[in-house]
């Protein structure tokens, strides 16, 4: 699987120390790294298909202050897709109303045939990129039927339904951002944690500091964050993901296939 990171605050703050701790986990997640920050209301995406601790590019980035209100990071352990730059998270795409969406994912889609149609149009070949394309299509459909842009609340309600459907039989730890809301979802126990104070949220696959106030993200709910506060919280769905031997065998086969591709290259 992968690890994911999100910082959401009411004022821009430097997050280098947390990012350095996060990227140090790449020994177990060696197949790529990514970083997304907002600058002048636009995403700046930087990523590479190499281990984070081996990246001179990342060292150069972290040698300067990384400051923002919305910062997202990812380290990849590939289960679906080759080890190439287009398969590194974050993914970014625009909807029909020119709103940019960004997504990072920790998990695997085992059963959701509706994503298959995106195989021919995505830039890479990951299930995670297909999730983003599917989300955007659902937003486009809603706004076309409404004949107007959606409100923040309408998007949250729509995405609650979409994520509930996607989470059935799939591990779906997600962080995504639509320029207004940061969305957080987890459906596997002990796989996503948060640290909260009056000004900011820090969310990561494992606690990044010694602070005793880290807590598990509540399962099977979608949360919408703005400026370090939860603005929206969905009802709880019933699609907790429990890893089985069948899932483990499937992921082992996927990893073997990726290793064979690396050797052949």
Laid out side by side, the sheet with 229-233 consists of 91-94, 100-106, 173-177, 182-186, 221-226, 229-233
Largest alpha-carbon pair distance within the chain?
52
Q: Which tens digits make up the pLDDT trace of 218-232? A: 999 999 999 999 999
Domain boundary assignment for the chain: 3-264
Tokens of 21: 């701790």
CB distance 163 to 185 below 8 Å: yes
Indicate the pLDDT class of residue 259, thresholds 50, 70 and 90: low
- Which overall architecture, per CATH, does domain 3-264 show? 4-Layer Sandwich (3.60)
> Which pTM value belongs to this model?
0.93
- The first and second tokens of residue 5, run together, are 């990171």
pLDDT at 217: 98
4-61 per-position pLDDT tens digit: 999 999 999 999 999 999 999 999 999 999 999 987 778 899 999 999 999 999 999 9
Q: Using CA atoms, how far apart are residues 171 and 166, in angstroms rounded to an integer?
A: 9
Query: d(Cα 180, Cα 151) in Å, to the nearest integer?
Result: 10
Q: What is the per-residue pLDDT for 24? A: 96
């Amino acid at each position: 699987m992968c690890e994911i990171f999100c910082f959401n605050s009411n004022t821009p703050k430097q997050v280098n120390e947390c990012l350095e701790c996060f990227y140090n986990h790449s020994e177990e997640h060696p197949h790529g790294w990514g970083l997304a920050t907002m600058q002048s209301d636009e995403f700046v995406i930087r990523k590479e298909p190499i281990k984070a601790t081996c990246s001179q590019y990342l060292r150069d980035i972290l040698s300067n202050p990384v400051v923002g209100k919305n910062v997202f990071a990812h380290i990849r352990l590939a289960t679906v897709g080759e080890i190439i730059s287009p398969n590194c998270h974050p993914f970014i795409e625009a909807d029909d109303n020119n709103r940019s969406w960004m997504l990072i994912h920790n998990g695997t889609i085992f059963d959701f045939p509706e994503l298959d149609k995106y195989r021919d149009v995505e830039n890479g070949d990951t299930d995670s990129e297909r999730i983003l394309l599917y989300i955007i299509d659902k937003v486009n459909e809603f706004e076309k039927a409404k004949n107007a842009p959606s409100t923040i609340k309408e998007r949250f309600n729509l995405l609650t339904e979409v994520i509930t459907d996607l989470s059935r039989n799939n591990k779906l730890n997600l962080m995504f951002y639509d320029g207004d809301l940061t969305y957080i979802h987890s459906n596997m126990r002990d796989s996503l944690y948060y640290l909260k104070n009056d000004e900011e949220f820090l969310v990561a696959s494992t606690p990044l500091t010694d602070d005793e106030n880290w807590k598990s993200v509540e399962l099977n709910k979608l949360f919408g964050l703005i400026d370090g506060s939860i603005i929206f919280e969905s009802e709880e769905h019933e699609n907790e993901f429990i890893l089985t031997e069948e899932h483990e065998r499937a992921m082992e086969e996927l990893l073997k296939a990726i290793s064979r591709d690396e050797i052949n290259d």
